Structure 1
Amino acid sequence: MSYPQDCWYVAATSDEVGDGLVSRRILDRSVLLFRLSDGSIAALEDRCAHRPYPLSAGHREDDLVVCGYHGCTYDASGRCVRMPGQDNPPWGAQVRAFPVLERAPFVWIWTGTPGGERLRPPPSTPWLQGDGWSSVGERRVVAADVVLLHEHYLDLTNVFEMHPELVPPGIEALPPLEEVIVSEMSVAYTRELPQAPLAPWEAKVSGLDRLESFGRRETGTFVTPGLHKQTYSIIGPDGPELELVRTHGFTPESSGVTHVFLQISWRGGSLSSDAGAQLAGVFHEMADRDVAVLETMQRCLDEDPTPRRYVNVKADRAALRARKIMQSMVEEERAD
């Protein structure tokens, strides 16, 4: 299965796009990003209309981009406004400009059907825009297909094997995945964990008494093919003591390679002074292990001489629903 084209994906984080030219491979397209003098962001096909040379290898003149091969010059709409050696550029001398929407910390891009972006706005992420939340993030390029990534994070039963130090003491298995909520374009599940003392990382981050017992609520949501959201709350007698949101922007570079834009967000009443640094370290190490497994699975798929049928289990319910949504989107686009 390929990946849906008609979807908003994260192209970059806001702090990546400044005065320079940023080149990125997105959905098998070379894209050039740059920030204009009014603060907005432009995104162009990273190819000169004259010859197959990347515009990102050129330079800027104010809000214009000059190709480093012959000097063909483009504005933010992709129109060639200057062609060396003649008074006017030839008719049709332009490159595609892609719709962009910046909602810090993410820069969203639409590379699908022109005009389709108006029908499907990018997902809302209010927890990344303040209101008591703090966030820290990182970007990775993972040699695994975007479908594998969504499936991996919709099934956290692997935590006991892959991340045992994160599990609260006394919890030996996750409750069965009984409730999966499915809409036309999204999949979500919720788990309530039994009361248990704090794991070492929970105590360090939350500032709570390690000897007390707390409940936990864990959710996972396939928001769109380009966004995955997980929440994890430590619940005290009066409500949440610590709320965490792990946000993944998944953007296919090509089949088998995915850009991952990770944001860890948190809020709580008695957090430690270095909660951000603690969380960044915990989830960075967790991502290292996840990536190693995901890239190994992709290599196994690539090495199989013929497609193999794997067994599904109850914990795969949400992952299989997400795969089905993505597959139906791809099939609909091919039919159109």
Structure 2
Amino acid sequence: MTTTCIPIKNVTTTDTAAAAKRFPLDQWYVAGFSSEFTDKPIARTFLNQKVVLFRTGEGQVAALEDRCCHRSLPLSCGTVEGTGVRCGYHGLLYAPNGQCIEIPGQERIPSKAKVKAYHVIEKNQIIWIWMPRDEAADPNRAPPDYPFHDDPRYKFGSGNYHYQSPWQLIHDNLLDLSHLGYVHLLTIGGDAKLHMNAPMKVTSEGDHVKVVRLMPDSSPPPTYRKAWPFGEKCERWQEIEFDVTHLRIWTGAVEPDTDAIDDPERGGFHMRGFHGITPETDETCHYFWSMSSTKHPDMPENIDAVIQQTAFTFDEDRTIIEAQYRNMLEFGEKASWIDIHVDAGANRARRIVADLIKKQAPAELSGS
């Protein structure tokens, strides 16, 4: 089966040394979800590097440099076969390790007939790709765990967006949920004043940041009412965990006078969001999201509506963030920022990313 070859505009492939000045390396980034990979190659760019992803007939997910070593046609313009991906120009067949294993009409395969291969692992229905500082080195740790995709207590839906904005603007947005009361009034919003005034606890350890807001005596927003038989009030929480390549956001509520909202084993309505933010270029990025939610026994069919509403909130976020970035470009150096109290988590995350880049950048690029 053939696949449509879609050109990627405004994308340049950089070497690892240049990438080290722009993005944290030696990291597992999100490359997609398991459900996306069927019988066609997928072209994506990660950290300015063009990649083709595919699932072989044996079920293995692989990632190669998106370039045939013969005449440089993107391998994503080709087809997936049982043992690899075949170039759509002259039929060279590549195995998941990047080695050419067949040249039609030619018995001898040159040793140089190969392309760069990336380490990829499929775990919890997420595809992770290792973006290394040293291309010859193997990953030094396993990808993160995200058990909620496989937890029978939850049902989840997923999707992905392409953003015309740098990746860290999305970090800023997700680490500060005070915007819910202004941007998401029809879904997961709620009382804007309550969001802005709720005590916010920000902690960090290593390369991780955690932000917690507890909001007792809240009015359930529309999405919550669709999924759970709340009355006029609920006890609401927001817990955000930042990792360099993704965020985990646990929000939800319990009915008054039931479980404590700081009890790790609390029941009630849960929304566990997974947010894989992977840079495409310096100015664009991928956003791979999923939402896992619990269901009330009296309202079991409302989970699909919750997932649809979640996707709608991400549409709203993308509109805001892309408009923000366009304005930043228009105003240029005039677009200076001030910080307010809700920015504490986002600022810590930016410092972590900046420190990682500074530590890894080669001396000739970092100016030291």
TM-score by length of 2: 0.83
| 8 Å Cα contact 1:12/1:107 also seen in 2 | yes
Q: Distance in 1 between matches of 2:222 and 2:88?
A: 54
- Does residue 231 of the first structure (1) align with residue 253 of the second (2)? no
Q: Distance in 2 between matches of 1:233 and 1:331?
A: 37
| 8 Å Cα contact 1:248/1:263 also seen in 2 | yes
**Could you say what secondary structure the match of 1:118 adopts?**
coil
The residue that corresponds to 1:187 in the other structure is: 209
- Does residue 4 of the first structure (1) align with residue 61 of the second (2)? no
The residue that corresponds to 1:156 in the other structure is: 177
Q: Distance in 1 between matches of 2:220 and 2:86?
A: 57
More strand by share: 1
The residue that corresponds to 2:127 in the other structure is: 107
Q: Distance in 1 between matches of 2:311 and 2:192?
A: 25
The residue that corresponds to 1:90 in the other structure is: 110
- Does residue 256 of the first structure (1) align with residue 277 of the second (2)? no
Measured after TM superposition, the shift of residue 2 of structure 1 is 2.9
Q: Distance in 2 between matches of 1:271 and 1:145?
A: 42
**5+ residue gaps in structure 1?**
none
**Could you say what secondary structure the match of 1:238 adopts?**
coil
The residue that corresponds to 1:281 in the other structure is: 308
| 8 Å Cα contact 2:272/2:292 also seen in 1 | yes
The residue that corresponds to 2:3 in the other structure is: none
The residue that corresponds to 2:58 in the other structure is: 38
| 8 Å Cα contact 1:170/1:196 also seen in 2 | no
| 8 Å Cα contact 2:55/2:80 also seen in 1 | no
Measured after TM superposition, the shift of residue 330 of structure 1 is 1.4
**5+ residue gaps in structure 2?**
1-20, 260-266, 364-368
Tell me: CA distance 1:323–1:271, structure 2 relative to 1, closer, same or farther (3 Å). Answer: farther
- Does residue 63 of the first structure (1) align with residue 83 of the second (2)? yes
Q: Distance in 1 between matches of 2:185 and 2:79?
A: 49
What RMSD, in angstroms, separates the aligned Cα atoms of the two structures? 2.2
The equivalences for 1:324-335 within 5 A come to 324-335=351-362
Q: After superposition, give the CA deviation of every residue in 1:110-162 in whole Å (9 maximum; x if it has no partner).
A: 13233655324322111122241110111111111110000111111112221
Q: Distance in 2 between matches of 1:134 and 1:164?
A: 24
| 8 Å Cα contact 1:177/1:315 also seen in 2 | no
| 8 Å Cα contact 2:182/2:192 also seen in 1 | no
The equivalences for 1:168-183 within 5 A come to 168=190, 172-183=194-205
Identity of aligned residues (%): 26
The residue that corresponds to 1:202 in the other structure is: 224
| 8 Å Cα contact 1:8/1:110 also seen in 2 | yes
